Chains A and B, each alone.
Chain A
Amino acid sequence: DTGVSQDPRHKITKRGQNVTFRCDPISEHNRLYWYRQTLGQGPEFLTYFQNEAQLEKSRLLSDRFSAERPKGSFSTLEIQRTEQGDSAMYLCASSPDGQQPQHFGDGTRLSIL
């Protein structure tokens, strides 16, 4: 069990650029979650997958955000036309199902210049 892996750990980009993050969950975990966390706040739910199906997406998430989990294994989160307000830590978590503990990765810290 290698844990949840996220890549990259840090991303610095200019406003208006597109960025993509990757998350590799614990193998055989069917659920995969994406969260956004800013300093001093709790993780904010973005979306989650049950295998390859995206079952829920936060209403707070704009159309610039998209996530995929094409084969039910790893997942990618893309942000298009980044804005200053997108600067945050993006966390990925996985669990066997919805009532099991979520195991978090170390996150990707995004900084928009």
Chain B
Amino acid sequence: QQPVQSPQAVILREGEDAVINCSSSKALYSVHWYRQKHGEAPVFLMILLKGGEQKGHEKISASFNEKKQQSSLYLTASQLSYSGTYFCGTDDYGQNFVFGPGTRLSVLP
């Protein structure tokens, strides 16, 4: 079953922050985050395994609440290069790997 992402789209000014949420109705083992720019393949950002850990990469970080089957992606001090569509992918203990519908992020100068 496909995870739910919110918001569907967000528009930011350069330097602003954004949060993208991903939730599933199934118990999750891991959540993956990818970014896809128009006309390009998805690019891996990070994986979060069960345990409620939080990961970070420069100004992009994410958390995973295993009990709520939710993950959030945090983008701080956004840059123009952050524009694209963000997908979460969920793994329900190896049964299925499913991508969400995506959140379109536009960063304006």
Contacts and interface: CB of A to CB of B under 8 A. Distances in A.
Given A99-B47, A102-B44, A104-B43, A44 B99 contact: yes
Contact of B41 (A42, A44, A101, A104): A104
A45 B99 contact: yes
Interface in B47-81: 47, 49
Contact of B102 (A41, A98, A100, A101): A41
Could you tell me the dominant secondary structure of chain A's interface residues? loop
Contacts of B43: 104
Interface residues of B, number: 23
A15 interface: no
Contacts, number: 47
A33 B97 contact: yes
Could you tell me the dominant secondary structure of chain B's interface residues? strand
Contacts of B94: 98
Contacts of A67: none
B84 interface: no
A42 B101 contact: yes
Interface of A: 33, 35, 40-45, 48, 56, 91, 98-107
Given A42-B100, A91-B42, A104-B42, 13 more contacts: A41-B101, A42-B2, A43-B87, A44-B99, A45-B96, A45-B98, A98-B91, A98-B94, A102-B32, A102-B34, A103-B44, A104-B41, A105-B41
20 contacts: A33-B97, A35-B99, A40-B102, A42-B87, A42-B99, A42-B100, A43-B42, A43-B99, A44-B99, A45-B98, A91-B41, A91-B42, A98-B97, A99-B47, A99-B49, A100-B47, A102-B34, A104-B41, A104-B43, A106-B41
